[in-house]
A and B are shown apart, each in its own frame.
Chain A
Amino acid sequence: MSDVRAAVVAGHDSFAAGLCSAVARIVGPAHGLVAVSNEAATPDEIRTALEAALDVSGATVLFTDLPAGSCTMAARRIARARPGLVVVTGVSLPVLLAYVTGSDVAAAVRTGQGAVAVVEGGA
């Protein structure tokens, strides 16, 4: 693996934990990902959890699942107060793998976009 960077991953239920677990399974556990769930949390609690995760990890990139999700809403609010923070919505395993293995955010997003494909049976 090349450069390893910290990031916060946030989403519904156990989505973020699962994604981080999958990354660890593929590239090893030595990465700086922190998972945050919105489960049973108020908007203020989500924001507090995300801010704590950013502070403890030193991350400047925050990946979320849905563009309209509560984690994204909280992330956008945090980004307003933290000019250096980058929020990426619609995160997937290919995006996260690309990021933790050294791609910059824009390249990681392109990797994720390129990884979406339709494979039709019998073709």
Chain B
Amino acid sequence: MTLELFRIDDRLVHGQVVIGWGLPHALGFLVVVDDEIAAAPWEQELYRMGTPEGMEVVFATVAEAAAAMPNYQADARSGMLLTADVATMVRLAEAAAAVRQVTLGGLHHRADRVPRLRFVFLSPSEESALRGLAARGVTVMAQDVPTSAPIPLEAVLAAEGTE
């Protein structure tokens, strides 16, 4: 077991994560990488209150997560790392070579975003950043729950929000 999943999801810790992914992957820990939440104890407690017994939630800044990556990977439990936005995951990937595969799990409507999938809306700058990730050799796909088929980045960017 190790840190096996890297997910971009603006809801961070929620039902799809703790139940949808948490049960079939027997997730034992979540790493929430967010510079603001890492400095906000009340927000951290909010997320901890929602997680099932036996699932640890760790909060880290990008720099802290990059430094701790070997520890996450050596963990005997299965883990998922979460960021709420593309930019944070890109910063992490630039700082930690262990980020080899990234899943778009949920990025919802925003004024500067266009719909790509039912659960993925992207702005031009986010699309550019994701292409940059892919160009670095990171596999990028979209998949909200484990039972749905992963959708490769190019197919996501070619979609028009109807899938």
Give me the interface of A with B, judged by CB distance under 8 Å: 12, 40-43, 45, 65-70, 72-73, 76-77, 80
Q: Which residue of B lies closest to A12 (CB)?
A: B15
Decide: A68 and B14 in contact? CB cutoff 8 A: yes
Decide: A73 and B14 in contact? CB cutoff 8 A: yes
Interface residues in B4-22 (C-beta closer than 8 Å to A): 10-11, 13-15, 17-19
Given contacts A40-B118, A68-B14, contact A45 B109 (CB under 8 A): yes
Give me the interface of B with A, judged by CB distance under 8 Å: 10-11, 13-15, 17-19, 42, 46-47, 49-52, 108-110, 118-119
Q: Which residues of B contact A68 (CB under 8 A)?
A: 13-15, 17-19, 50-52
Decide: A66 and B46 in contact? CB cutoff 8 A: no
Q: Is the interface of B mostly helix, strand, loop or mixed?
A: loop
B26: min CB distance to chain A, Å: 16
CA distance A65 to B162 in the complex (A): 27
A-B contact count (CB 8 A): 49
Decide: B11 and A73 in contact? CB cutoff 8 A: yes
Given contacts A66-B19, A68-B18, A68-B19, contact A43 B49 (CB under 8 A): no
CA distance A41 to B42 in the complex (A): 23
Decide: A70 and B15 in contact? CB cutoff 8 A: yes
Looking at B13, B15, B52, the one whose CB has the most chain A CB atoms below 10 A away is B15
A80: min CB distance to chain B, Å: 8
Q: Which residues of A contact B15 (CB under 8 A)?
A: 12, 65-66, 68-70
Decide: A77 and B51 in contact? CB cutoff 8 A: no
27 cross-chain CB contacts under 8 A: A40-B109, A40-B119, A41-B108, A41-B109, A42-B10, A42-B11, A42-B108, A42-B109, A42-B110, A65-B15, A66-B15, A67-B49, A67-B50, A68-B13, A68-B18, A69-B14, A69-B15, A69-B50, A70-B11, A70-B15, A72-B50, A73-B13, A73-B46, A73-B47, A73-B50, A76-B49, A77-B46
